[in-house]
Amino acid sequence: MKSDHTEPSTAPSVHGFSPGFAALGLEGSLLATLDTLGYEEPTPIQRESIPPLLAGRDLLGQAATGTGKTASFALPMLQRLAHGAKQRPAALILVPTRELAIQVGEAVQRYGKELRISVLAVYGGQAIGPQLYALKRGVDVVVATPGRALDHIRRNTLQLKHVQMVVLDEADEMLDMGFADDLEAILTQTPADRQTALFSATMPPRIASIAHRHLKNPVEIKIAKELVKAGAAPRVLQTAYVVNRPYKVAALIRVLDLAAPKSALVFCRTRLEVDELTAGLAGRDYRAEAIHGGMSQPQRDRVMTAFKSGQTQILVATDVAARGLDIPSVSHVVNYDLPSSPEVYVHRIGRTGRAGREGEAITIVEPREHRLLRNIEQLTKAKIIVAQVPSVADLRTKRIERTLTSIRELLAAGDVEHFRSVVTVLAKDFELVDVAAAAVKLAHQAQGGDVEEQEIPSVQARVPDYSRPDYARPGMRRPSPMSGEMSRGIRPREAQGRPSARPTAGRTPNSARIYIGAGRAAGIRPGDLVGAIANEAKLGSAQIGGVEIEERFSLVEVPESMARDVIEALGRTRIKGQKVTVRLFRD
C-alpha cells in the first residue's frame, strides 16, 4: 500500500480532541488519553496502520523506532480488546530486548489507562517469581522477549490459546539476535485465526519469509519511502546529539548555552513536552514561551507578537502549532524530539537559514532513534553530524571566550577612558595584571559566570542495547580474554583474514568449529564465549582454540570429539542473556 500523507489539519480541535486521531476511528476514551498525553496529530505510520488494524487486518510495517509505531499498533489493539472476549492474555507483543519490553509495556499501559487493560512486561534477567504471580492472576497484554516468553510457555505459565492479536516488534533485530526458532515456536502456540502485525526497520528476505508464513493477506506499509526532493532540505549546519532520555532536557539546555542563539525555535512532539521544556528554560533565565494547540487564539497572538519583536528569545512549539504561523527566520531550529518523518524534519529546519542568512539545526536523539536519524539523512540527502554533548569544560571555555570577546570589543571601541583613573588608583597597591584579572572576573560573573553544572553522560548511537550488564547471565564466570592461558587461543582480528571466506585457515588438526549466532553487534567478546564454554560444557580453557568474533556471528574452535557436547551445552544456555543459534560450522 502506498504511503498516503494527506496534510493534516492545522486547526486545533474544537472539542479538545485531535480531529486527526478521531478520523482514524479511535473511540472517545482513547482520544481522551491521547489528549491528556498532549498528542496533537497522528504520525504517518499511525495514520496508515490504525484503520486497517482496527478493521482486523494483518499488517506488515516498515518503520523505525521514533516514528510512533508503538501507538500505531497499541491503540487499535486496545480498542479491539476492550470490546472483545475477556479470556486472557488476549494479546502478545514480542520485542527483542528487555529495554524495549519495558518501554513498550509502559506505553501500552499509558494508552490503555482509561480502558483498564492490564499489561505485563516479561523479559530475561528479571526474577521469574513476580512474573509467575502476575501471569497467574491474569493480564490482558503480555509484552515479552522471545526467550522468556518461551520459558513461560514451557513451564505452562503462559498459555496463548486465547490470544487474538500478536505483534512482532523490531522483527529484524529479533532475527539478528538468533530468535528465529523461538518466534516460530511461540507462534505455533497461538490460534491460527489471530490477527498479526509485524514491524521491522528493514525488510530483508528472512523477514519477508516470516511474513509470508505467518501473516494473512497483510496490508503493507512503508514509511521510509516518502522521498523528500534532493536539495529540498535547507543548507544549514545540522548537528545531532545522542543522549539517554533522562538527560534530554539537560542536553538541550547545555547545547543552547553553548550556541547562545539570537532566536530559536524549539520543536517538541507533544504539548506536555512543550510546557515542561518552556518551564525548564525559564528556570535557566531564558526568555522562552510556549505555543501549542491547547492555547486560545489570543494567547497565541500574544506569544507570537513577543517573539517577533525579539522580546522572547526561544519559542517552544509543537508541529501543529508552528504550521501556518508566520514565523520570521530564526538563527537556530532545535528538535527536542526527532520528528516522526523526514518531511516534518525538512519543514522544521526550513525555519532557519532563510534568505541567505546563517542558520543551524540541532537535534537531540535517543540512542534507539539512531536509525530514524539515518533514514532522515538519507531521504533528505543532507548530512547530519553526530556530535558529543558539550562537556562542562567545553561550556566553561565557551563562556570565558564570550567574556574575552566582549572585553576585546570594548577595547577596540576605545570607550574606557573614564575607568583608567580607577585602574591608576588600584595600581598603587596591586600588580596591574591582578587588577585586570579581578576586572575580568567581575565582567565574567556579570555575564552569567560559571554555574554549577553536572556532566551529561555521552552515549554511543546504537541500534539494540545488547551489551548492558543485565543481559549477562548471573553468576557466569567471565575469564578475561587477555589473561594467562585463556588468551592463547585468541588470534588477533588482523591475523584472521576473512573468516567467512577462509574459516579453516590455520586450524588445528582434529578440531571443529562451532558457529554462534551472535557477534560484535551483540557486544560479544572472546571472554564471553570462552567463559560460557568453560562453564557450561566443562571444557578446560586450554582445549578451546581460536575465537573469531564477526559482526553478526562468532566461531570457536574446539576438539572435534567435544563439539557435540559444546553445541548441546551452549544451545541450552544464554550468551549475554540471549538465546542464540549454535551449530557446527561447515566450511
Site for ligand AMP in 555-574 (CB under 6 A): none
User: What is the spatial distance between Cα 191 and Cα 138, in angstroms, rounded to a whole number?
Assistant: 18
Radius of gyration, CA atoms only, the chain: 29
Least Å distance between CB 203 and ligand AMP? 17
Task: Give the interface size with ligand AMP as a residue count (CB under 6 A).
Answer: 13
Using the minimum distance from each CB to ligand AMP, give the nearer residue, 124 or 339: 339
Q: Which residues of 198-233 are buried (b: 16+ CB within 10 A; e: fewer)?
A: bbbbebeeebeebbeebbeebbebbbbeeebeeebb
User: What is the spatial distance between Cα 404 and Cα 173, in angstroms, rounded to a whole number?
Assistant: 51
Least Å distance between CB 46 and ligand AMP? 6
Using the minimum distance from each CB to ligand AMP, give the nearer residue, 93 or 315: 93
Least Å distance between CB 71 and ligand AMP? 5
Q: Which of 8, 26, 35, 43 binds ligand AMP (CB under 6 A)?
A: 43
User: What is the spatial distance between Cα 329 and Cα 313, in angstroms, rounded to a whole number?
Assistant: 13
Per CB under 6 A, does 344 bind ligand AMP? no
Least Å distance between CB 435 and ligand AMP? 54
> What binding mask, one character per residue, do residues 47-86 give for ligand AMP by CB under 6 A, x or -?
------------------xxxxxxx---------------
User: What is the spatial distance between Cα 41 and Cα 160, in angstroms, rounded to a whole number?
Assistant: 34
Q: Which residues of 312-345 are buried (b: 16+ CB within 10 A; e: fewer)?
A: bbbbbbbbbbbbebebebbbbbbbbbbbbbbbbb
**Cβ-count burial of 59 within 10 angstroms (0-12 exposed, 13-18 middle, 19+ buried)?**
buried
Q: Which of 148, 209, 204, 142 is nearest to 176 (CA)?
A: 204
Using the minimum distance from each CB to ligand AMP, give the nearer residue, 340 or 554: 340
Using the minimum distance from each CB to ligand AMP, give the nearer residue, 31 or 575: 31
Using the minimum distance from each CB to ligand AMP, give the nearer residue, 115 or 185: 115
Site for ligand AMP in 230-289 (CB under 6 A): 269-270
Using the minimum distance from each CB to ligand AMP, give the nearer residue, 115 or 395: 115
Using the minimum distance from each CB to ligand AMP, give the nearer residue, 13 or 43: 43
Site for ligand AMP in 449-468 (CB under 6 A): none
Q: Which of 31, 35, 39, 359 binds ligand AMP (CB under 6 A)?
A: 39
Least Å distance between CB 443 and ligand AMP? 43
Least Å distance between CB 163 and ligand AMP? 22
**Cβ-count burial of 469 within 10 angstroms (0-12 exposed, 13-18 middle, 19+ buried)?**
exposed
Least Å distance between CB 56 and ligand AMP? 22
- Terminal Cα-to-Cα distance of the chain (whole angstroms): 42
Least Å distance between CB 470 and ligand AMP? 21
Q: Any bridge partners for residue 290, and if so which?
A: 316
Using the minimum distance from each CB to ligand AMP, give the nearer residue, 68 or 367: 68
User: What is the spatial distance between Cα 334 and Cα 332, in angstroms, rounded to a whole number?
Assistant: 6
Cell numbers placing 307: 517573539
Cell numbers placing 141: 497484554
**Residues forming the site for ligand AMP (CB under 6 A):** 39, 42-43, 46, 65-71, 269-270
